[in-house]
Amino acid sequence: MRKPLLEREGLPEELFAPLMAAAVYDPDPSFCRWFVEPALYAFGRRRVLSALVDRLRTGTDAERAGAVRA
């Protein structure tokens, strides 16, 4: 799944939220980067980090733990 996302120049805006959710909810920390890296390339570091920090501030305990892993 990661390779096709990385090979594209850009990603549609509607993929940002699902990529961030997948990174946060994936229980295996070694796979979080499969979702974070394409988001970084397509949407930028600032936006991705802002979304993860927002989860740290307002998320449930499980979402906070997922944001830290991501």
Instruction: Tell me what pLDDT residue 7 has.
Output: 64
Stated pTM of the model: 0.82
Helix then strand then coil, % of the chain, to nearest 5: 80, 0, 20
Listed as ranges, residues in the chain with pLDDT below 70 are 1-9
pLDDT at 23: 93
**Rounded Cα–Cα distance for residues 23 and 69 (Å):** 8
Which H or E run contains 17? Answer: helix 16-25
Q: Are 52 and 20 in contact (CB under 8 A)?
A: yes
